[in-house]
Amino acid sequence: MTQMPARTIRVLIVDGDATIHSTLQHMLRAEGDIDVVGGTFTGQDAVQKVEALNPDVVLMAAELPDTDGISVTEALVAQHPTCGVILLANHFDAEALRRAMVAGARDFLVKPLAAEELVRAIRKVYEIEAAIRARLAPVLPGQPAASSEPRLGKIIAVYSPKGGAGRTTIATNLAVALHRHVGAKVALVDGSLLFGDIAIVLNIPPKKTIIDLVSVTDHLDADVVESTMARHQSGIHVLLAPVRPEMAELVAPHHLKQILTLMRTMYDYIVVDTWPSFQELVLSILDMAERIVVVSTLEMHSVKNLRLFLEVADALHYPPEKLVLVLNRADSSGGMRIQDVEANVNRKFSAEIVNDWRVATLAINEGTPFVMSHPQSQIAQDIIALAGLIAGKEPAQNGRVPVAQVDKKNKAVGWLGKVFK
Residue 220 neighbours by CB distance under 10 Å = 22
The pLDDT of residue 412 is above 80: no
Of these ranges, 53-57, 75-79, 240-244, 268-272, the one predicted with the greatest mean pLDDT is 268-272
Q: What is the pLDDT of residue 1?
A: 42
Let me know: does 272 contact 189? Beta carbons within 8 Å: yes
pLDDT per position as a tens digit, 146-198: 444 456 889 999 998 888 788 899 999 999 999 988 888 899 999 888 888 89
Top pLDDT among 100 and 411 is at 100
Distance CA 259, CA 128 (A): 10
| Distances in whole angstroms, Cα of residue 320 to Cα of each of 197, 286, 303, 307, 332 | 29, 13, 18, 14, 27
Top pLDDT among 137 and 213 is at 213
The pLDDT of residue 140 is above 50: no
pLDDT per position as a tens digit, 259-275: 998 899 889 999 999 98
What average pLDDT score do residues 56-66 get? 91
Q: Which of 82, 38, 75 is nearest to 265 (CA)?
A: 82
Count each helix (H run) and each strand (E run) in the chain, helices first. 17, 13
Q: Which of 215, 272, 263, 210 is nearest to 241 (CA)?
A: 210
Burial 59-79 (b: 16+ CB within 10 A, else e): bbbbebeeebbbebbbbbbee
Instruction: List phi, psi (to 5°) of 185.
Output: -85, 120
Per-residue pLDDT band at 134 (split at 50, 70, 90) = low
Top pLDDT among 396 and 85 is at 85
- The whole-chain average pLDDT of the chain stands at 81
Report the predicted TM-score, pTM, of the whole model to 2 decimal places: 0.61
Enumerate residues 6+ apart whose C-beta is below 8 A from 238. Answer: 187, 188, 189, 190, 198, 202, 204, 229, 230, 231, 232
In the DSSP assignment, the letter for residue 20 is: H
Q: Which of 234, 255, 242 is nearest to 101 (CA)?
A: 255
What average pLDDT score do residues 84-98 get? 85
The pLDDT of residue 402 is above 50: no
Helix (H) or strand (E) holding 258: helix 253-263
Q: What is the pLDDT of residue 156?
A: 95
The pLDDT of residue 91 is above 50: yes
Distance CA 394, CA 236 (A): 23
Residue 352 neighbours by CB distance under 10 Å = 20
CATH tag, 9-134: 3.40.50.2300
Phi/psi-derived region of residue 354, left when phi > 0, alpha when psi is between -120 and 50, beta in every other case: beta
Instruction: List phi, psi (to 5°) of 189.
Output: -115, 125
Top pLDDT among 246 and 403 is at 246
Q: Which fold has domain 154-420?
A: Rossmann fold (3.40.50)
Q: What is the pLDDT of residue 409?
A: 33
The pLDDT of residue 144 is above 70: no
Of these ranges, 52-61, 138-147, 337-346, the one predicted with the greatest mean pLDDT is 52-61
Top pLDDT among 98 and 22 is at 22
The pLDDT of residue 242 is above 60: yes
What average pLDDT score do residues 356-385 get? 87
Rg (CA), the chain: 23
Provide the residue ranges of all domains of the chain, joining segments of one domain with +: 9-134, 154-420
Q: What is the pLDDT of residue 7?
A: 67
Distance CA 187, CA 172 (A): 10
What average pLDDT score do residues 22-26 get? 90
Distance CA 97, CA 283 (A): 13
Residue 94 burial class via C-beta count within 10 angstroms: exposed 0-12, middle 13-18, buried 19 and up: exposed
Residue 195 neighbours by CB distance under 10 Å = 12
Distance CA 287, CA 105 (A): 14
Distance CA 189, CA 175 (A): 10
pLDDT per position as a tens digit, 301-347: 888 888 888 888 888 888 888 999 998 887 776 657 778 778 778 88
186 DSSP β-pair partners: 269
